[in-house]
Structure 1
Amino acid sequence: MSVNVKKRIIYLDYLRVLAIFGVLLNHISANWENALFLNSEIALVYNSLGRIGVPLFLMLSGVLLLNNKLPIKEFIKRRYPRVIIPFLFWMTLLIMFFILLNPHILDGNVAVYVIKRYLSDRWYVWMILGVYLLIPIMASFIKTSKLEGVKYFLIIWLITTAMITLSKIFGFSLHYLDLTLFSGPIGYLMLGYYLHNNEFNMSPKKIITVSLIVFISMTLIKTFVANQTAFDPYSFRYMIFSTKSRLEIDTISIVQVSALYLIFKYMSNVSSGIYKRLSEFGNRKMVLALIISISQASYGIYLNHYFITTTLKHINFPFVDLPSLIFVPLIAVIILMISYGVIMILNKVPIINKLTGYH
């Protein structure tokens, strides 16, 4: 598990691990069949925490890719295989695995079932492929307009998402105001790029403290919204303009994920107190090596965790009832480590190690 720490932006690795853990929290708190906790308020808190996962992944892509200087053809040639090859590898295995568990599906239209259940339903993969098509255009825009251009885009994006949020709450339509370009996932890439490259006129300790308060507040607000039976907790997902993405672009989510990003960005800059002790622990050699390795495996974990989830459900795990406060994070950790372990084992196999999504 040897890694070159000097060539990495460590806080981005921590955020990537947090992002994949968030995805697992979200899937478990929302989809674990026959669990007693599904309607509990604690599960809703975990669900609100977990929904930071995809926005974080997009922000990290913005930090790392919007400085792209490659020709368009070369950029697409490099990025698309990194997404498509592991996707096809894991989905093929998952389809075969599911047929073994449920051979009766062979009696129906297998092709239609496979396309709907395993190929088209992996919305994040299709979204990121679309985002990659835009990145060379946005990178060229940033190259000429610098942070001022990013700020311009973000201001319009934030106004657009605020209008969408208000339109959902008060029931008015934005049908005639076409702000398609400013209402989708590219905003999170620009947000990540801006937060990474912009320095704020405030001490790191104060930034972390304020961001922590804001993050907790936004999470509780999202939980409160989700707990209202008359209100669809997913109504702020990116359904406008018939794009059908599950990405959340409401104002609350944007503020929440921004606050979390700033906490990790500035954690290592604090010189004393609990933040300093946390930073020192996170910088220990073994901890860093594990975090970086899980970070590199995060896309593979996203794709292969469905195996682990399906298997654990099939054997009715856990075998005893646990309160949701313990159940959700415990299962998330178990799935994360098993998924990561599977990838690390497969990475020892020639050829297969090129397919697992470990980057």
Structure 2
Amino acid sequence: MTDTTVTRNYGLDILRVIACYMVIQIHTGEFYYIGDRGNVLNTLDANWVCWYNSLCRICVPLFVMISGFFLFPVKDASVFFKKRFSRVAIPFILWCVLYAFYFYFRGDATLNATVTNIVHIPVNYGVEIGHLWFVYMLLGIYLFAPVLSPWIQTASRKSMEFYLLLWCIAFCIPYIHLIFPAIWGEAFWNHTPMLYYFSGFMGYVVLANYIKRFHMEPARWNYVAGIALLVVGYGITAVGFSMRLPTEKFVNTLELTWSFETINIAMMTAGVFLMVKNIQIKNTGSAILKLVADISAKSYGIYLAHIMVLNVVHAFWDGRLASAAVKLPVIAACTFAITFIVIKILSFIPKSKWLIG
């Protein structure tokens, strides 16, 4: 998913590449702490996943911030939807079909089940390829963008800060729930409590545009604040996961501090965004920078395709390496590189944008 501006911000290209790699490393780690039926594997390898991948949890929020950065203004809703949905939804549907056949050829689904999965695509996924949840969330942000656009463009600094303050409080609720299971109107029959409308990924979109409007110029405090946010956020994320690893039986409770909608993940995401957004590139014609821009442009295709490659790479390396300390970066890096090459090759096919975005 590539956006163009008058002056290209190579810092955001770098962020997109980093986020893309982090997604792959997160999914690599799942082999080493998730057991059958979602139970927790409390092993030495799981501890390595904790310390490595706690940082990588910023991947999805970074993608949302980068997309949100280029999202506004929405001047014509019909043109906006046609452009955004064609670039995101059509490749998504095609990959849902490909994953359905992928499951069939792996022997994980019958032909009848494969056809059923394809027919099921308008409802949800088609097959249980979990990483595709991201696309539904992104399309939801696009649907709301024309509504949000006037406020994003004209809101005062104080009003945006007020929103972000309430958003941060909402992101603390998962931890408040450890003491008070229901707060501010929550009940088993009410899923829209007081700060419901300030929660979720839309806050990352607002944060990106707040920085764009009021803090885009390079400043020393960006790095001071960025490092502080990253260190504190990582400490909460990793230590929290590590402390819960010996006691939690199921992944959904183990990953409390790994949730994308927690204050510590938001802190790390904001910190990294602040530090990288204004990276200055002197030699914009260098081969490395061209490679970064190319990977950035193909990041959506890499995101959609990488699970197929990851399963093959994991099968090759898992038995050849002793510890997840080595397995995680090796498998993730190989998967990242191979998937990029595959998407690069596919990009030469006519009309390839409908497949790789």
Deviation, 1:47, is 1.9
Find the partner of 2:155 among 132, 142, 145.
145
1:303 match: 304
2:54 match: 48
2:260 match: 248
- 2:199 corresponds to which letter in structure 1? S
Distance between the aligned counterparts of 2:182 and 2:73, measured in 1?
Answer: 37
Distance between the aligned counterparts of 2:4 and 2:86, measured in 1?
Answer: 24
**Is this contact kept in 2: 1:215–1:257, CA < 8 A?**
yes
Distance between the aligned counterparts of 2:4 and 2:210, measured in 1?
Answer: 26
**Is this contact kept in 2: 1:25–1:50, CA < 8 A?**
yes
2:243 match: 228
Deviation, 1:17, is 0.7
TM-score (norm 2): 0.82
**Is this contact kept in 1: 2:49–2:324, CA < 8 A?**
yes
TM-score (norm 1): 0.81
1:241 match: none
| Gap change, CA 1:117 and 1:225, over 3 Å in 2 | farther
The count of corresponding residues between Structure 1 and Structure 2 is 330
Find the partner of 1:82 among 87, 93, 96.
87
Deviation, 1:263, is 1.1
Distance between the aligned counterparts of 1:295 and 1:322, measured in 2?
Answer: 32
| Gap change, CA 1:190 and 1:96, over 3 Å in 2 | same
2:292 match: 291
| Gap change, CA 1:233 and 1:100, over 3 Å in 2 | same
Instruction: Compare 255-264 and 315-324 and name the one that shifted more.
Output: 315-324
Distance between the aligned counterparts of 1:64 and 1:113, measured in 2?
Answer: 34
Deviation, 1:210, is 4.3
Deviation, 1:120, is 7.6
Deviation per CA, 1:231-289, whole angstroms, max 9, x where unpaired?
Answer: 6342367xxxxxxxxx6211111111111111102443xxxxxxxxxx668x5611111
Distance between the aligned counterparts of 2:15 and 2:111, measured in 1?
Answer: 44
Find the partner of 1:106 among 110, 127, 130.
110
2:142 match: 132
| Gap change, CA 1:316 and 1:334, over 3 Å in 2 | closer
| Gap change, CA 1:137 and 1:157, over 3 Å in 2 | same
| Gap change, CA 1:166 and 1:307, over 3 Å in 2 | closer
2:199 match: 183
Instruction: Compare 32-41 and 91-100 and name the one that shifted more.
Output: 32-41
Secondary structure (helix, strand or coil) at the match of 1:349 reads coil
- The share of aligned pairs that are identical, in percent, is 25
Secondary structure (helix, strand or coil) at the match of 1:172 reads coil
| Gap change, CA 1:129 and 1:38, over 3 Å in 2 | farther
- 2:194 corresponds to which letter in structure 1? D
**Is this contact kept in 2: 1:297–1:343, CA < 8 A?**
yes
Deviation, 1:202, is 9.0
**Is this contact kept in 1: 2:16–2:299, CA < 8 A?**
yes
Deviation, 1:6, is 6.4
1:271 match: none
Deviation, 1:331, is 1.5
Alignment of 1:136-175 (within 5 A): 136-162=146-172, 164-174=173-183
Distance between the aligned counterparts of 1:201 and 1:130, measured in 2?
Answer: 30
Deviation, 1:169, is 2.6
| 1:118 aligned onto 2:127 | yes
Deviation, 1:184, is 1.1
Secondary structure (helix, strand or coil) at the match of 1:249 reads coil
What RMSD, in angstroms, separates the aligned Cα atoms of the two structures?
A: 3.0
Instruction: Compare 82-91 and 37-46 and name the one that shifted more.
Output: 37-46
1:14 match: 14
Deviation, 1:312, is 2.6
Distance between the aligned counterparts of 1:259 and 1:290, measured in 2?
Answer: 25
Instruction: Compare 107-116 and 284-293 and name the one that shifted more.
Output: 107-116
Q: Which runs of 5+ in 1 are unaligned?
A: 238-246, 269-278
Deviation per CA, 1:178-231, whole angstroms, max 9, x where unpaired?
Answer: 322211110010111112332389942x53244224313321321111112346
2:209 match: 193
Deviation per CA, 1:78-106, whole angstroms, max 9, x where unpaired?
Answer: 1111111111222222221221121x621
| Gap change, CA 1:198 and 1:31, over 3 Å in 2 | farther
**Is this contact kept in 2: 1:208–1:267, CA < 8 A?**
no
Q: Which has the higher helix share?
A: 1
1:329 match: 329
Deviation, 1:134, is 1.0
